[in-house]
Amino acid sequence: MTLGINLTYDQLLAGFPPRPITSDDQYWETVARIDELIDKGMLSSDEQDYLSVLGMLVERYEGEHEPDIELRGIALIRALMEEQGLRQRDLVNPIFKTDSIASSVLNGKRRLTVEHIDKLALYFQLPHALFFEAPENQVNQHETENNRTTISPPPKPPTSDLSQRQLINAQHLSIVSP
């Protein structure tokens, strides 16, 4: 594709006909074509339509071939930060409102909100679901914070001046009485 020249939809189709993506090679070819269009800058309406079609094909392929990422939630955020050379402060404006919120979330003292997850998914270009903690991680984190698991006994029934036998009789009468 030549930069600066507007191509018609038919020319775009002839140069790279959009087809369902069935392999990683086709995926990367389509992504490269998308990148060429985006790098061009100002697009004609035909180029925008063509870009939209390619984008739908890529989105479908990515949805069917979601990356096998084992990390979730805070562990994933920390790994992404390390991989991209980001510091906690780098996430303050785009994700978190303050440095203290970022610190609390990243140290497990505060949960991610829906707004945080939405912003993280956009920022890192990953599915929202990856930023939710796995249920077993939430339990383990809770146990780690408290250093023990507490099981509360069921609440005791209210007591009164009546003896246990009188209480049973009173309950029986209320069931039997109209």
CATH of the domain at 80: 1.10.260.40
Task: Provide the residue range defining the domain that includes 30.
Answer: 9-64
112 and 50 in a single domain? The answer is no
Report yes or no: 54 and 30 within 8 Å, Cβ to Cβ.
yes
Number of domains in the chain: 2
- Residue 151 within a domain: no
Report yes or no: 79 and 99 within 8 Å, Cβ to Cβ.
no
86 and 131 in a single domain? The answer is yes
33 and 54 in a single domain? The answer is yes
130 and 78 in a single domain? The answer is yes
d(C-alpha 50, C-alpha 12), whole Å:
7
pLDDT at res. 1: 57
- List, for residues 72-113, the tens digit of each pLDDT value: 899 999 999 999 999 999 999 999 999 999 999 999 999 999
Q: How far are the Cα atoms of 43, 88, 98, 101, 128 from residue 104, in angstroms, in the given order?
A: 43, 11, 10, 5, 20
22 and 78 in a single domain? The answer is no
- Residue 125 within a domain: yes
Mean pLDDT of 30-58: 89
pLDDT at res. 46: 93
Mean of pLDDT over the chain: 77
d(C-alpha 17, C-alpha 19), whole Å:
6
- Residue 174 within a domain: no
57 and 101 in a single domain? The answer is no
Nearest CA-CA partner of 72 in 110, 123, 128, 116: 128
Please report the sign of the dihedral spanned by the C-alpha atoms of residue 141, residue 147, residue 149, residue 150: negative
Report yes or no: 105 and 46 within 8 Å, Cβ to Cβ.
no
- Residue 98 within a domain: yes
Mean pLDDT of 51-55: 91
- List, for residues 143-157, the tens digit of each pLDDT value: 444 444 333 344 444
